[in-house]
Chains A and B, each alone.
Chain A
Amino acid sequence: MRPDALTVKIRARAHWEAVDLGLALVQKYWRNLYAAWLVVILPVVFLELLLYLNRNGGGRYDLLLLWWLKPLYDRVILHVLSRAVFGETVDWRGTLRAIPGLLWHSGLFRALTWGRFTPRRSFKLPIWQLEGVTGQVRSKRLSALKGRGAIRLIFVCSIFEMILLFGMLGLLFMMLPPEFIPTHPDSILDFLTDNKASSWFEAIYGFCYLLAVSIIEPFYVAAGFMLYLNQRTELEGWDIELGFRTLAARLEAQQTQP
């Protein structure tokens, strides 16, 4: 990895600044990110729809699948971002071509099973996926880089997801004519047990959740990636390296024409 090829400004940052840089990254490359996002999310949405339409009474856990597969989406987002920081853009075709490699060489199986509940997911992902290390080396890398701020990041991002979800539901609720809104306790119970009404509600809830994840997840992955880059900048002196290269270039120019 050559720090001088990066298109993000390398300097010593506090970790919250690195997280904010993640947002700037998403704002700059959102077209590429959402092209890749659609490639990976559309099949999942299709699956969800099949589950939703073919169920008989049960099926209250459909949305768990959408949540559970987050590490899969994260890998696609990071693939686009890791190219973008070197000034290389990936379109949806490039994403499609990259997916087989991402499925096998980024520790996806572990991330979807016993590694699903790690709170430092976003910070570990670049080590798993971009450094391509495994086993002992990987654990050593993890403990060397530490990942400060990553747990607070996932805490705030899950709050953001809930804010957006309930914001959208609240907005829809405000738009409903008052006679549709159950107010009496009995009628609320009727509403929840009435299969047709509650299955409508579940569909709307699912759609809002999908939107909330689509908005927050790219930001979450980008922020974790920037935390990782920032940590490496600090431990490997990338900011110094860039400064030294400029200085060396000046000294060289001075020597050739004294």
Chain B
Amino acid sequence: MLDTVRTIETPEGVNIRLRLAGPVPRALAYLLDSFIRAVVWLVSFIFFVRFGNFGLGIWLIGIFLLEWFYPVLFEVYAQGATPGKQALGLAVLQDDGVPVGWSASVVRNLLRTVDFLPSFYAFGLCSVLLNRDFKRLGDIVAKTIVVHRSKPRVPQKLPPGRALPLPIGLSSPEQQLIVAFAARVPRLTWDRAQELARILDSTNGQHTHATLHTDVVSLIGYAQHIVGEREPS
């Protein structure tokens, strides 16, 4: 099964799923960051230019620090995300899934000079397109990855219905699946919802003592019951 997820086992034996981020959202995040920096350049220039050559000197030092430490500081102190990455829901992590530290962040950002060659990140783009983990050269050297942190928007609100107790035992992921179905019903066409519900009909017509009712209304009822049990009010 082709997917952009990498599963990493932590020393505690917990599996975490990292969803890798590719060139398009990363480029957009970079554009946003560049725009933010350009605004800072301009505003600080207007401020410092009033102090003559001395002010310009300070401004140039400030620009230098901004260009080199803007990504590093945000990556270390703001959960691995510059404002641009934050806006796109991205974050930088180390290969093993832990938050990015000083040394890794400094390395990956210093190597922007290599990724930038020969102009406008052409090497970096080629590297991201060719690498299976979508890494640019700086990521390869610093052993970092860029991942999607924001969850896709999945509907949570259930349509109204009378709670029905489950006639059979279902595991927790299976219960979640029924809740997910119920929450999705308003977005599906009614025919499609019924079609989906009938998939669960495993009895082939012969009714035994305990089976799921496989119509949309009953499934919504089961979902209500599952959710109601989880958070009794």
Known A-B contacts A14-B89, A167-B122, A219-B129; the reply to A159 vs B134 at CB < 8 A is no
Report whether A20 and B153 are in contact in the complex, using a CB–CB cutoff of 8 Å. Answer: no
| Shortest Cβ distance from A175 into B: residue | B118
Report whether A244 and B200 are in contact in the complex, using a CB–CB cutoff of 8 Å. Answer: yes
Report whether A164 and B24 are in contact in the complex, using a CB–CB cutoff of 8 Å. Answer: no
Known A-B contacts A160-B125, A170-B119, A219-B129; the reply to A16 vs B196 at CB < 8 A is no
A25 to chain B, nearest CB (A): 6
Q: Is B4 at the interface (CB under 8 A from chain A)?
A: yes
Residues of B within 8 A of A16 (CB): 21-22, 24-25, 88-89, 148
Report whether A24 and B4 are in contact in the complex, using a CB–CB cutoff of 8 Å. Answer: yes
Known A-B contacts A171-B118, A247-B200, A248-B200; the reply to A160 vs B4 at CB < 8 A is no
Known A-B contacts A19-B22, A156-B24, A248-B202; the reply to A240 vs B4 at CB < 8 A is no
Report whether B192 and A236 are in contact in the complex, using a CB–CB cutoff of 8 Å. Answer: yes
Q: Is the interface of A mostly helix, strand, loop or mixed?
A: helix
Binary CB contact string for chain A from 190 to 222 against chain B (1 if under 8 A, 0 otherwise): 000000000000000000000000010001000
| Shortest Cβ distance from B174 into A: residue | A247
| Shortest Cβ distance from B3 into A: residue | A9
Q: Is A112 at the interface (CB under 8 A from chain B)?
A: no
Residues of A within 8 A of B119 (CB): 163, 166-167, 170
Residues of B within 8 A of A131 (CB): none
Residues of A within 8 A of B199 (CB): 241, 244-245, 248
Report whether A20 and B25 are in contact in the complex, using a CB–CB cutoff of 8 Å. Answer: yes
How many interface contacts (CB-CB < 8 Å) are there between A and B? Answer: 141
Residues of B within 8 A of A237 (CB): 181, 184, 188, 192-193, 196
Report whether A14 and B148 are in contact in the complex, using a CB–CB cutoff of 8 Å. Answer: yes
Binary CB contact string for chain B from 121 to 142 against chain A (1 if under 8 A, 0 otherwise): 1110110011010100000000
Q: Which residues of chain B from 88 to 112 have any CB-CB distance to chain A below 8 Å in the complex?
A: 88-89
Residues of B within 8 A of A151 (CB): none
Which residue from A12, A24, A25, A223 sits with its C-beta under 8 Å from B24? A223
Report whether A244 and B129 are in contact in the complex, using a CB–CB cutoff of 8 Å. Answer: no
Q: Which residues of chain A from 131 to 160 have any CB-CB distance to chain B below 8 Å in the complex?
A: 152-153, 156-157, 159-160
Report whether A20 and B181 are in contact in the complex, using a CB–CB cutoff of 8 Å. Answer: no
- Determine the distance from Cα of A188 to Cα of B104 in the docked complex, in whole angstroms: 44
- Determine the distance from Cα of A255 to Cα of B204 in the docked complex, in whole angstroms: 11
Known A-B contacts A23-B22, A236-B188, A244-B181; the reply to A7 vs B212 at CB < 8 A is no
Known A-B contacts A167-B119, A245-B199; the reply to A160 vs B23 at CB < 8 A is yes
Q: Which residues of chain A from 34 to 64 have any CB-CB distance to chain B below 8 Å in the complex?
A: none
B224 to chain A, nearest CB (A): 17
Q: Is B28 at the interface (CB under 8 A from chain A)?
A: yes
Known A-B contacts A9-B2, A12-B152, A28-B2; the reply to A20 vs B21 at CB < 8 A is yes
Q: Is A21 at the interface (CB under 8 A from chain B)?
A: yes
| Shortest Cβ distance from B184 into A: residue | A237
Known A-B contacts A236-B188, A252-B202; the reply to A19 vs B24 at CB < 8 A is yes
Which residue from A14, A19, A247 sits with its C-beta under 8 Å from B150? A14
Q: Is A5 at the interface (CB under 8 A from chain B)?
A: no
A8-B3, A9-B5, A164-B126 given; 20 more Cβ-contact pairs under 8 Å: A20-B4, A20-B21, A20-B24, A20-B134, A21-B3, A25-B2, A152-B24, A156-B28, A160-B27, A163-B122, A167-B119, A167-B123, A223-B24, A240-B181, A241-B199, A244-B181, A247-B177, A248-B202, A251-B200, A255-B203
Closest 10 CB pairs of A and B: A167-B122, A20-B22, A9-B3, A170-B118, A252-B202, A16-B25, A244-B199, A14-B152, A251-B202, A9-B1
> Can you name 15 A-B pairs with beta carbons within 8 Å?
A8-B2, A9-B1, A14-B152, A16-B24, A23-B22, A23-B129, A24-B22, A163-B119, A170-B119, A236-B188, A240-B196, A244-B200, A247-B200, A249-B202, A252-B202
